[in-house]
Amino acid sequence: MLRHGVAEEVVGVDRDPEVISAAVRRGAVSRGGTELRLVDGADLVVVAVPVGAVAETVVALAPYLKEDAVVTDVGSVKEPIVRAVEGRLPGLRFVGGHPMAGSEGRGIEQADASLLDSRPFLLTPTERTAEDVLATVAVVVQRIGMRPVVLSPREHDALVARVSHLPYVVAVALMAAASSRDVTVAGPAYRDATRVAASPVEMWEEICRMNRQEILKAIEELERALAEVKTGLQGEASLREILRRAQERRAEADRLWEK
């Protein structure tokens, strides 16, 4: 925000004062502290806490907000969060958000603004979201160099289950299926596919709990796709066709990502 000149001042709030000191040192925030009332006066509040704590955090900070403040979040699950926030604070100028970027790292020392460059920032308005609230967040998203993508909370959760939560589940399953010796000699494809299994368990446990149904559906889709590859391996379908289709889709994806 500061780096892109989007805000004159960014105020950080964290339970841990050392995180705020580190954030100030890194130039990520102008000043900050541990108390929620520091959000008073803010035009935009971005709630970045574990998905299971977003709604209660928004409720807790709401009393300190100025009347026209806009609130968003960065949680990887949207439907339960948006429903809870809208249910408990019907008048709040809120829209759910989710930046599709990050690493397996955790904490302020792993923060890296360049991870956000040109990445999608999913925004999930509902019929209760005022147009100018969505517009405000979308403009900020663009000015920090990300791409706003608008979809409903439900669409979001189905989509993210397939492209973000499923690769995590697969990484977990690949690690479970491999022996220590396997791992020792593993090549780059294995490392790439399992990297996300290193990310914080508590975060993922909450995500899994809050997006359980969509993740289960995504696993079933993957199981059907694996069953198709098996028919190809067993000569009951054209393996070449299956592999070629995946290759074409991956090439198409690379073209999209380069834009």
Q: Under the criterion CB under 8 A, does residue 53 sit at the interface with its own copies?
A: no
35, 37, 233, 236: residue in contact with its own copies (rule CB under 8 A) = 233
Q: Does 163 bind its own copies (CB under 8 A)?
A: yes
Q: How far is the CB of 35 from its own copies (least distance, A)?
A: 31
Tokens representing 40?
Answer: 């008073």
Q: How far is CA 202 from CA 111, 207, 250, in A?
A: 19, 9, 31
Binder to its own copies among 170, 236, 237, 258 (CB under 8 A)? 170
Query: Of 84-103, which residues contact its own copies (CB under 8 A)?
Result: 100-103
Q: Which is nearer to its own copies, 71 or 166 (CB)?
A: 166
Dist CA 248 CA 255 (whole Å): 11
Q: Is 236 in the site for its own copies (CB under 8 A)?
A: no
Radius of gyration (C-alpha) of the chain in whole angstroms: 21
- Which tokens hold the place of 221? 């889709």
CB of 222 to its own copies, least distance (A): 5
Site membership for its own copies, residue 175 (CB under 8 A): yes
Interface residue with its own copies, options 57, 186, 236, 237 (CB under 8 A): 186
Contact set for its own copies, span 193-232 (CB under 8 A) = 193-199, 201-202, 204-205, 208-209, 212, 215-216, 218-219, 221-226, 228-230, 232
DSSP codes, 7-30: -S--EEE-S-HHHHHHHHHTTS-S
Q: In the sheet that 96-99 helps form, which strands lie side by side, from edge to edge? A: 96-99, 120-124, 147-150
DSSP for residue 94: B
Cα dist. 121→15, 92, 100, 175 in Å? 26, 21, 6, 30
H or E segment to which residue 153 belongs: helix 153-160
DSSP 163: I
The verdict on 188 binding its own copies (CB under 8 A) reads yes
Q: Say which residue the tokens 């059907």 belong to.
A: 224
Contact between 42 and its own copies (CB under 8 A)? no
Q: If binding is defined by CB under 8 A, does position 114 make contact with its own copies?
A: no
Stretch that binds its own copies, among 45-53, 54-62, 85-93, 248-256 (CB under 8 A): 248-256
Q: Judged by CB under 8 A, does residue 8 bind its own copies?
A: no
